[in-house]
Structures are given as C-alpha cells and as structure tokens.
Amino acid sequence: MKRGLIGLLIFTFVSVLMVGVVFAVNETNSSSSSTSSTSSTSSSSSSNLNSGDAVDRGYACLEDQIKDKTSLSLQEAIFSTLAVGKKANLEKIITDNKRSNEECWPKEGCKLKDTAQVLLTYNRIGTNTDKIEQWILSKNATATDLNWYLEIDVQNHVSSQCTITYDGSDKKIQIKDDMKLSGNPGSCLTITSSGYWLRIKDNCLDKTFSVSCDQDFITTLLYEKSSGGTIYVSSETHSAASLGKTEEKVNAQCLKSGTVCDYEGTLWSALALQKLGNDISKFKVYLVALAEDNKRFFPSSFLYLLYGLEDQYSETIQSQKQGQYWQQAGTPYSRFYDTSLGMLALSSSSSGEFEMLGELFLMI
C-alpha cells in the first residue's frame, strides 16, 4: 500500500506538470498553424481532453487517499503537498517529522535528501525556507572522492624553469622539452609516476597555487575518481607570457552527511537550491565525476535538469525501458519514482520526447 501510494503521488505530480506543458505546446502549434484541418484540431482537442481526464482521475484518487489522513509517512506528505498544494494535515505530518533543535528532516536522523525535498515542498506552498537552506549549505565541503592534478604545459615544448607559490612559499621545478617535470614542488604537490603532472594532496585542496615560468605557458587542473578511471580536464585553462602568472584552485564541492560526501543528498539539494536561485556550479564536478558509481539514483536525469549537459540527456533517453518508462538497476525506489525523474528531466528539453512519453505515462 505504501509503495502504491508513493507511486500515485509522484504520478499525479508529474502528470500535472506534463499536461501543462502539453497544453502549452498544443496552443502554440494551433496559433502558428491557421491552416490546420478541422479533423486535426478535433484530434488534438480530444488528446488534450483525455490527458486532462487522466489527471483529474489521478487527483480524485489522490485526494481520497490523503483526505484528513494523519498516518501518512514523511515521503507521502511531501509528495502529496507537491502534487495538491497546502493541506493542514499534510503540513502537520511534515512539521511533526522535523528535528526539534534543527531545521532538518526526519527527526530520527536528519538526511540531506529528505530535507531538500521539504525545502522544495515549503517553497511550493509559500512557507519560509531560510533556515532550511542554511542547514543544507552548512553541510558544504570540498569533495575528497577525487584525485586532482596540476598540469603545466610550456608553449612550443621547450625546457623551462617554473615557480609554484602557495602558503607564501616558492617552490622551484624544471620542465624538460618532453614536458616531464623534476624538482621539489613542496609538501602539497607530488610529481606523478608518469612525470607529466603534479598530484595535489587531499589536505591541500583548498589552497590556491600560483604558477610562473620563464617561457610562455598554460596551466589547468585535471581530476579523476579516487578509484581511477576517466581523466577529466577542467573547463578552465589559464595562460601567461614568460614570467607572467596564473592561478589554479580546486572548485569541487559536495554536501556531506557526517564526514562523507552524500551523493544522492547533493543531487536533491542542488535541485532545491537551484529552485531558490542559488549558484550550484560548485557541485558540478563532483556530481558528474561520481555519476558512474551512483547510477541507482538516476544521476543523468538530475544532471541534465541542473546543468543542461547533452551527454546526460542522451544517457537519460538511452536508459529508458521499452521506450516507455525508467527503472534504474539497483534503484532503491520504484518504476514510478524513476520515471518521474526521467520526465522531469525531459520537461526542460525542447525535443518532443516529453510530450510523447506523457501520453504513454497517463495510460499507466
């Protein structure tokens, strides 16, 4: 029963979103196509009516399930409120599940995901969210699940003497014409086994590294998962003429539960924080790099919704089952839950997949 109700709640919430977009698209198409045939218009109107009827039925069923109920779970109360709006019994359930001395949920053990979902819910019904937002942001920390490297590339590939400055101290290194490094880069940096990069130690990720060389040069940061794998190149590179200076600083944040980065919690928190107008770019590196290890949480749907990454859009589309629904391998939730995330992601796309899937989803 619980699993079925959660599915219904998410179904109704997404159905409302979907039908709103379908109506808007059809209205736009109708305005721009004055030569449409009567039969085509009738077909479109019938489709809209059917979609509206499906949502109405979902609403009626949902209202019946939650009316005056006081024994719903926190998740049920959250998604019910997102679907139908402000209801006194739902607000009381959410309030009763809050920890008494902190702005977080649930009271038995605060979690980022649940707290972020409450943040979205309170924003939906116009309840002040300042303290909840502050609690989430207080969990911000530098992600330590990644290995970081500093790369210095001398233009024209000639040998060069370079100085790296951090903590107010200068460290001298040499770059050979094959771009291999030698010298003593200090306590925060070590030359990698390949000889081409400088590994930034975990306890130095918050430091700024200033680089100057006696030849024209370029610097950038590289990173990979701590377990190894794909090497990612930072989106920013910096260049300077001979004896000029560049600066590099790691900008990879996560939100932690205890002392460990919470991947799912960071996904939901980024979504909620973005909704409230916060800059969430600092979470991008961590969320993208660790996505492969967290596929059960359907990260591609979040990453496309949050950052508009086309590769994540493609992955979201490709992970559909039979072209109709989503269910991630190892998901801790359900087909309805994952399908809702997929549709929310596609709702921000200009492609036609969202409308097509919406018609299918309303038939479930």
Bigger pLDDT: 302 vs 67 = 302
What confidence tens digit (pLDDT) does each residue in 142-160 have? 998 999 999 999 999 999 9
The token pair at 299 is 């990260």
Kindly tell me if the per-residue pLDDT of 189 is higher than 70.
yes
Kindly tell me if the per-residue pLDDT of 356 is higher than 70.
no
The pLDDT, as a whole number, for residue 26 is 37
Across the chain, mean pLDDT equals 86
The pLDDT, as a whole number, for residue 337 is 87
| Alpha carbon separation from 180 to 173, 183, 208, 319 (Å, rounded) | 10, 11, 23, 42
| Alpha carbon separation from 12 to 67, 109, 340 (Å, rounded) | 15, 29, 10
The pLDDT, as a whole number, for residue 32 is 46
Of 157, 152, 198, nearest in space to 176 by CA: 157
Residue 31: band (very low, low, confident or very high) from pLDDT cuts 50, 70, 90: very low
Percent of the chain with pLDDT over 90: 67
Domain boundaries, the chain: 1-73, 146-251
What's the CA gap between 191 and 171, in Å, rounded? 13
* Least reliable range by pLDDT among 93-102, 225-234, 355-364: 355-364
Kindly tell me if the per-residue pLDDT of 216 is higher than 90.
yes
Residue 24: band (very low, low, confident or very high) from pLDDT cuts 50, 70, 90: very low
Answer whether 173's CB lies under 8 Å from 185's CB: yes
Residue 325: band (very low, low, confident or very high) from pLDDT cuts 50, 70, 90: confident
pTM, to two decimals = 0.82
Kindly tell me if the per-residue pLDDT of 128 is higher than 70.
yes
Looking at the chain, how many residues does it have? Answer: 364
Kindly tell me if the per-residue pLDDT of 35 is higher than 80.
no
The pLDDT, as a whole number, for residue 354 is 53
Of 70, 118, 103, nearest in space to 265 by CA: 118
CA atoms within a 13 Å half-sphere pointing along the CA-CB vector of 237: 10
Q: Tell me the average pLDDT across 9-26.
A: 42
What confidence tens digit (pLDDT) does each residue in 46-59 have? 444 455 676 677 67
The token pair at 113 is 């995901």
Kindly tell me if the per-residue pLDDT of 39 is higher than 90.
no
Residue 102: band (very low, low, confident or very high) from pLDDT cuts 50, 70, 90: very high
Of 60, 131, 121, 124, nearest in space to 93 by CA: 121
Kindly tell me if the per-residue pLDDT of 33 is higher than 60.
no
